Structure 1
């Protein structure tokens, strides 16, 4: 696998992890990081997507604060650092960086042209914003945080979007989940899957709330969704 450099809209440059399929080419998937940076979990997701035939790109979204963040959820110090980065993250600039990354992904010779976005936690929130603000061919959000505060943008969703919601998500209370599901129900291109009894980050391999059955179910739904909408 490789590291590529992307030029932001404002001229800055940042790195992204690139995983290519064995076939040499395929549709693109923009993988959007959690609050732990482009770490082993994100790189493995890219590698798994490459094994399914996709060109997977995961950009460093914290490059404006501290380039090269690669931490875990295994210590208090790392968790404190992750939440501090999340707290100071410029979301508007981050979405612009993702839009630049999506364009760079499509421009890669390995990419067949169609490309979607898929994110987790912070990345799940940003995947929702990619569905409202970008021309991504489809988007997948895993337990996105704060989407209930973004529902004013929902009318801009015209392409397929899949949301995975953990019903016991400690960061997304039941009332917020109800608001999201009610608004999404009116949008024909949106599919919402809820996972009873599961907490935030249930699909993060090795995480405290990892649930193998839930992760397998969600990932299977995602695989079918991507195949349908990206080819």
Structure 2
């Protein structure tokens, strides 16, 4: 299928799809709403297919790239769901390195997030991408099924699973003890939540369009935060000023970047919401942030 851009669709349709993606409406309700945007040759159903992820587009680093090693690892999570499985990607060398936890969107550990982990490994970090759907069988290979499973998992226990994954990653013998976290959408919000819970045990955090914590919770954060937002993301981006103020009050080193004309999900290169310029700039900032705070 031809790759489309966000500019190929009315913003109202993109906002409607965002509502569907985040569980605010069913597929049928989205299709009913999208009907008014259907034109000759493009039914509501075909618009849905154009907007949904195409994971073949996400492969920037091949799984068998000679620069890295990958494996599936199961981490104990006694306070969560018992255990959590994840995708470990690390450089082919045996150097002791800082680590980065990669947290997925609200569909589970899909191929895009695995590729993000490989991109971090190529950048000389140990990357671990846990699957919050482990307790219900793991990412099912289909996003709609993934969302349905996601809604069945106890969110408190899922957070404990991610905390267990973070502790395991930080304590690996090949890790320097410096741990960062990056996440997207749900994962961005979870990165903020982990920063609240982990305090100084987290050395740096880069949430992409993640739900912000309350001012009181933000006051518990110690990890330097570099937050990334899309200008057109009317659901998440308006929360940045209050988060900015709370981090300033807490004395936390932080930056916030709002990318002009970018939508929620602009880093995900499997959908039309992908904004190449914004994604590359934001990724560069993420790597600079981790290099600054994890390698010192």
Q: Give the superposition deviation at 1:208.
A: 2.0
1: distance between equivalents of 2:149 and 2:179?
28
Is 1:119 the equivalent of 2:183?
yes
1:60 aligned to 122, 128, 131, which one?
131
1:164-179 pair list within 5 angstroms: 164-172=228-236, 174=238, 176-179=239-242
Q: Give the superposition deviation at 1:128.
A: 0.4
Is 1:180 the equivalent of 2:243?
yes
Deviates more, 1:127-136 or 1:8-17: 8-17
Is 1:140 the equivalent of 2:195?
no
Stretches of structure 2 that go unaligned for 5 or more consecutive residues are 1-69
1:110 aligned to 174, 178, 182, which one?
174
1: distance between equivalents of 2:77 and 2:202?
17
Which residue in 1 is equivalent to 2:193? 129
Q: How many residues align?
A: 221
CA RMSD of aligned residues (A): 2.0
Which residue in 1 is equivalent to 2:155? 91
1:38-77 pair list within 5 angstroms: 38-64=109-135, 66-71=136-141
Contact kept, 8 Å, 2:90 with 2:127, in 1: the verdict is yes
2: distance between equivalents of 1:196 and 1:84?
32
1:217 aligned to 264, 273, 281, which one?
281
Q: Can you list the C-alpha shifts for 1:71-115, whole angstroms capped at 9, x where unaligned?
A: 45xxxxx34x34434444433222211111111112323222211
TM-score, scaled relative to structure 2 = 0.69
Q: Give the superposition deviation at 1:39.
A: 1.2
Stretches of structure 1 that go unaligned for 5 or more consecutive residues are 73-77
Which residue in 2 is equivalent to 1:27? 98
Contact kept, 8 Å, 2:205 with 2:224, in 1: the verdict is yes
Which residue in 2 is equivalent to 1:5? 74
Structure 1 residues 202 and 70: CA distance shift in structure 2, 3 A? farther
Structure 1 residues 105 and 209: CA distance shift in structure 2, 3 A? same
Which residue in 2 is equivalent to 1:75? none
2: distance between equivalents of 1:85 and 1:120?
18
Q: Give the superposition deviation at 1:188.
A: 3.6
3-state SS, counterpart of residue 133 of structure 2: coil
Which residue in 2 is equivalent to 1:157? 221
Which residue in 1 is equivalent to 2:86? 16
Which residue in 1 is equivalent to 2:23? none
Contact kept, 8 Å, 1:22 with 1:51, in 2: the verdict is no
1: distance between equivalents of 2:237 and 2:288?
28
1:195-214 pair list within 5 angstroms: 195-214=259-278
Q: Can you list the C-alpha shifts for 1:168-195, whole angstroms capped at 9, x where unaligned?
A: 1153264x34433443443442211111
2: distance between equivalents of 1:67 and 1:152?
35
3-state SS, counterpart of residue 227 of structure 1: helix
3-state SS, counterpart of residue 223 of structure 2: coil
